[in-house]
Amino acid sequence: MTRRQFYTGVISLAVAGVIFILPFVFVLLTAVKTKQDAALLTFSWPVEWHFLDNLTEVLRTRNYMLLLAYFNSTVITVCSVTLLVLFGAMVGYVLQRRPSGWNKVIYAFVLAGLMIPPAVVPTIWILQSVGLFKTLTGMVFIQVAYGLAFSVLLFRSFIATIPRDLDEAAIIDGAKPWQIFFRVILPLLKPVTVTVIVVQSISIFNDFTNPLYYLPGRENVTVQLTLYNFQGQFQTQFNLLFMNILLVTIPPLIVFVFFNRQIVAGMTAGAVKG
């Protein structure tokens, strides 16, 4: 490393520190302040550290709403990501392995899924008519419908790297179609599956708009909705509001620390190929 590279690095880190790290430090500091201290909105060391007090108070708010929200968000995320992996891999597999006139249609739908904003009110109307409006099940299927396109694309391009000889060897070994998929292909999809899980989990966990529309009602609250609700309620209790932001930021941070590589792989998929 040259001196120039070293100093450029130091300066860049200083600038990035102010722009990208300080806002998070501000969240952390405000979250542990007292109510009066936090209300000043200043970037300052807390007069008193109230980490545990604020934590328990946030959790207790509105009859442990935040815990319920974490539960709901977890259920939605786990269920929809499971289905997204399974469905995405199955569609990507057939799409890649079986060229036919249908493929163009499926591709058109995939692109539409990536591009078109969901038609909200008609969706509510359909959810209502099948009895899934305001239900976690309905929310899970919504997330699956909206996340499919991305999953299919990732799986399809990964499956293209698995030699077809393997399928044929399995056919000769007497495998049925579902056995080829579940016993030969699916185990080989591990790297891309991890990527899909990580990227989709984060986006579903962070999703605000869709629960806002499709999951109204107290008992269905999700983590992002609590932030939105508390924003109104805690106008004067910034310490609690920021404690909530802190809590919502921690899951992605943990995922980021452990799965940085998979996130990068997923987010940049297609960037090189175009």
Partner 1 sequence: MAKVVLENIRKSFGSLDVIKGIDLAVEDGEFCVFVGPSGCGKSTLLRMISGLETSSDGRMLIGDRDVTHAEPSQRGIAMVFQSYALYPHLTVRDNIGFGLSLAGRPKAEIAAKVEKTAETLQLTHLLDRKPKALSGGQRQRVAIGRAIIRDPKVFLFDEPLSNLDAALRSQMRMELTDLHARLGATMIYVTHDQVEAMTMADKIVVLNAGRVEQVGSPMELYNRPASPFVAGFIGSPKMNLYEGAIAAAEGCTTYGIRPEHLSMSTSEGKWKGTIRHIERLGADTVLYLDQPDLMSIVVRVPGDAELALRQEIFVTPVPGKEHRF
Partner 2 sequence: MIVQKSPYPYWFVMPAAVVFSVLFLAPTLASLWFSLTRWDLFSAQFIGLENYRQFLREPFLIQGLINTVIYAFATSATKSVFGLLLAVLLTSGIWAQGFLRAVIFFPVLVSTIGVGITFSVLMHPTNGVINVALSAIGIPGPGWLTDPALALYSIILVDFWKGLGLATLIYIAGLASISPDYYEAARIDGATRTQMFFRVTVPLVRPATVTVVTLSLIGGLRSFDLIWAMTRGGPGFSSDVLASVIYKQYQAGFYGLSTAGNVILFLLIGLIILPMTAWFNRKEVDL
Q: Which lies closer to partner 2 via its Cβ, residue 67 or residue 112?
A: 112
**DSSP code of residue 218:** G
Per partner kind, with CB cut-offs from 5 to 8 A, the member of partner 1, partner 2, none near residue 160 is: none
Name which position in 56, 128, 233, 236 contacts partner 2 (CB under 8 A).
128
Site string for partner 2, 17-56 (x = CB under 8 A): x-xxx-x--xx--x---------xxxx-------------
List all residues 6 or more positions away from 274 whose beta carbon is below 8 Å from its beta carbon. none
Contacts of 85 (CB under 8 A, 6+ apart): 151, 193, 196, 197
Task: Quote the least distance from Cβ 183 to partner 1, whole Å.
Answer: 7
From partner 1, partner 2, none, interface partner of 42 (C-beta below 5 to 8 A by class) = partner 2
User: 49: which residues sit within 8 A by CB, 6+ positions away?
Assistant: 32
Output 60 or 176, the one with its CB closest to partner 1: 176
C-alpha distances out from residue 235 to 89, 204, 239, 268, Å:
45, 27, 10, 39
Binders of partner 2 among residues 199 to 258 (CB under 8 A) are: 202, 206, 208-209, 212-213, 223-224, 227-228, 231, 238, 241-242, 245, 248-249, 252-253, 255-256
How far is residue 230's CA from residue 140's CA, in Å, rounded to a whole number? 24
Q: Which range binds partner 1 by CB under 8 A, 87-95, 134-142, 171-179, 199-207?
A: 171-179
Task: Answer whether 245's CB lies under 8 Å from 227's CB.
Answer: yes
The answer to whether 160 contacts partner 1 (rule: CB under 8 A) is no
Using the rule CB under 8 A, which residue among 74, 157, 179, 206 binds partner 1?
179
- Binding to partner 2 (CB under 8 A) within 58-77 occurs at none
The binder of 1, among partner 2, partner 1, none, by C-beta within 5 to 8 A per type, is partner 2
21, two tokens: 């790290």
**Closest approach of partner 1 to the CB of residue 167, in Å:** 9
Rounded Cα–Cα distance for residues 98 and 119 (Å): 31
What is the rounded distance in angstroms from the CA atom of residue 46 to the CA atom of residue 81?
40
Question: Does residue number 125 form part of the binding site for partner 2 (CB under 8 A)?
Answer: yes
| 21 versus 67: smaller Cβ distance to partner 2 | 21
Query: CB within 8 A of 84, min separation 6: which ones?
Result: 143, 144, 147, 148, 151, 196, 200
Which is nearer to partner 1, 86 or 184 (by Cβ)? 184
207: CB partners within 8 A, 6+ apart: 143, 222, 224
| One of 84, 85, 136, 170 touching partner 1 (CB under 8 A) | 170
**Which residues would be at the binding site for partner 1 (CB under 8 A)?**
163, 165-166, 168-176, 179, 183-184, 187-188
